[in-house]
Amino acid sequence: MVPSNNAHADIREGVRALCAGFPASYFRELDERRAYPEAFVDALTKAGWLAALIPQEYGGSGLGLTEASVIMEEINRSGGNAGACHGQMYNMGTLLRHGSAEQKERYLPAIARGELRLQSMGVTEPDAGTDTTSLKTFAERRGDRYVVNGQKVWISRVQHSDLMILLARTTPQAEVKKRSEGLSIFLVDLRDAIGHGMTVQPIRNMVNHETNELFFDNLEIPAESLIGEEGRGFRYILDGLNAERALIAAECIGDGYWFIDKVTKYARERIVFGRPIGQNQGVQFPIAKAYVDVEAASLMRYKACALYDAHRPCGAEANMAKLLAADASWAAANACLQFHGGYGFATEYDVERKFRETRLYQVAPISTNLILSYVAEHMLGMPRSF
Ligand SMILES: Cc1cc2nc3c(=O)[nH]c(=O)nc-3n(C[C@H](O)[C@H](O)[C@H](O)COP(=O)(O)OP(=O)(O)OC[C@H]3O[C@@H](n4cnc5c(N)ncnc54)[C@H](O)[C@@H]3O)c2cc1C
């Protein structure tokens, strides 16, 4: 294994031991069938790793985002893919920070026991895309209920979750001063919603990732599903989005190490022209550069997580960590595929699967362009371009 920052060695060892029971061949076989890693997620849940962020008083381990990021990193570094279960980590912050005492009491112990899953977050809409505040899904208050109408797209793990955090408009855009006002978040019980006003349409895609279109047709949810104050949901969801970016950065870092481990081993062993291909500097340099970039991205990830855990603003760092890590893992993926030659394309080497998986993070959960425009505007003071 290539050297890396071994902070949180106890967590890494525990997750690695669990992942050893789910080798790359397990994920390869599921990829072929586009099937959900039920046994893996079940084992992670039983071992308590998916309750890492739940405070001890509710039955979790009370760890921070830093430790959660290490768990996600190790899953991807093992050859697996944390995309099947990372929702529980980033959604947890939203519930913990903005949920009422009653909501926490009702859901957190059951999530910690593995009886409930909080794996989904419904933000993206077909007509709004990255322009989140233009979303149209509307939740109208009627007595003790909200009635939801609208549509979402690319909403992941809905078929493997019991709860979903939903972002919807509660005041029409024309009636608010700022576009980010008048949005609210709800904790939707999917077991009650699906088939009773909410329809799920799976989207088959490039990777083995369960994601869906959602349609809301007069879906009724209890008023107590509202998280925090009505109209302030955009501010609340930003916490979840920042946590998501830091965790995805960690997953890219795990991918980066996996690619570098895989390709350095191969480059040492593969003999062409009478010598290992790894003896050529043309082969060494792209791999070494990707390694340098992964290490640097890892530091920015730790910075973002430390700020988040200290309840300090971390938007810039979470975005930068995500961009650096996604670029580093993509560079590592390209080097790994390239230096495996034809074998990189063979399914049994797992390189092409991981290559597809890490490519996603140039686009989701936020694209590289949008991160750069955030940095240009919010950190460098340049005029907003859109
Ligand atoms: C597999 C998968 C899983 C997902 N899971 C979830 C989920 O669980 N929940 C959820 O809410 N969403 C989810 N998403 C949605 C994801 O967050 C969005 O796809 C992503 O934010 C990009 O939005 P879009 O697809 O609408 O692209 P668009 O907003 O249409 O953008 C398309 C392209 O145009 C570029 N672009 C747009 N505007 C600008 C600009 N002003 N300047 C420069 N470039 C620009 C972008 O960089 C992007 O590459 C998922 C997506 C995928 C593919």
Mutation probe of ligand 1 site: the residue of 131, 135, 154 with most atoms within 8 A of C-beta: 154
pLDDT of residue 38: 97
The residues, any chain, with a CB within 8 Å of residue 169's CB and separated by 6 or more, are 135, 136, 137, 138, 139, 182, 183, 184
Q: Indicate the residue type of 337.
A: L
Nearest of 288, 272, 305, 294 to residue 69 by alpha carbon: 305
Output the CA 356–ligand 1 centroid distance in Å: 17
Q: How confident is the model at residue 2 (pLDDT cuts 50, 70, 90)?
A: confident
Ligand 1 closest atom vs CA 373 = 42
Does the pLDDT value for residue 5 go beyond 80? no
Q: How confident is the model at residue 1 (pLDDT cuts 50, 70, 90)?
A: confident
Give residues (CB < 6 A) around ligand 1. 121-124, 129-130, 154-156, 205, 209, 211, 360, 363-367, 369-370, 373, 386
Ligand 1 closest atom vs CA 209 = 1
pLDDT of residue 181: 98
How far is Cα 364 from Cα 28, in angstroms, rounded to an integer? 22
Q: What is the pLDDT of residues 234-291, one digit of tens each?
A: 999 999 999 999 999 999 999 999 999 999 999 999 999 999 999 999 999 999 999 9
Ligand 1 closest atom vs CA 122 = 11
Q: What is the pLDDT of residues 56-92, one digit of tens each?
A: 999 999 999 999 999 999 999 999 999 999 999 999 9
DSSP H helices in 270-348: 281-309, 315-339
Output the CA 156–ligand 1 centroid distance in Å: 13
Q: How confident is the model at residue 350 (pLDDT cuts 50, 70, 90)?
A: very high
pLDDT of residue 3: 83
**Minimum CA distance residue for ligand 1 atom 18:** 364
Q: What is the pLDDT of residues 20-36, one digit of tens each?
A: 999 999 999 999 999 99
Q: How confident is the model at residue 7 (pLDDT cuts 50, 70, 90)?
A: confident
Over residues 336-356, mean pLDDT: 98
Ligand 1 closest atom vs CA 126 = 26
The rounded radius of gyration (Å) of the Cα atoms in the chain is 21
How far is Cα 306 from Cα 319, in angstroms, rounded to an integer? 14
pLDDT of residue 6: 78
Return the active site residues.
244
Output the CA 345–ligand 1 centroid distance in Å: 27
Q: Which segments within the chain are labelled E, that is strand?
A: 118-122, 138-142, 145-156, 163-169, 183-189, 198-202, 211-222, 226-227, 271-272, 275-276
**Minimum CA distance residue for ligand 1 atom 27:** 129
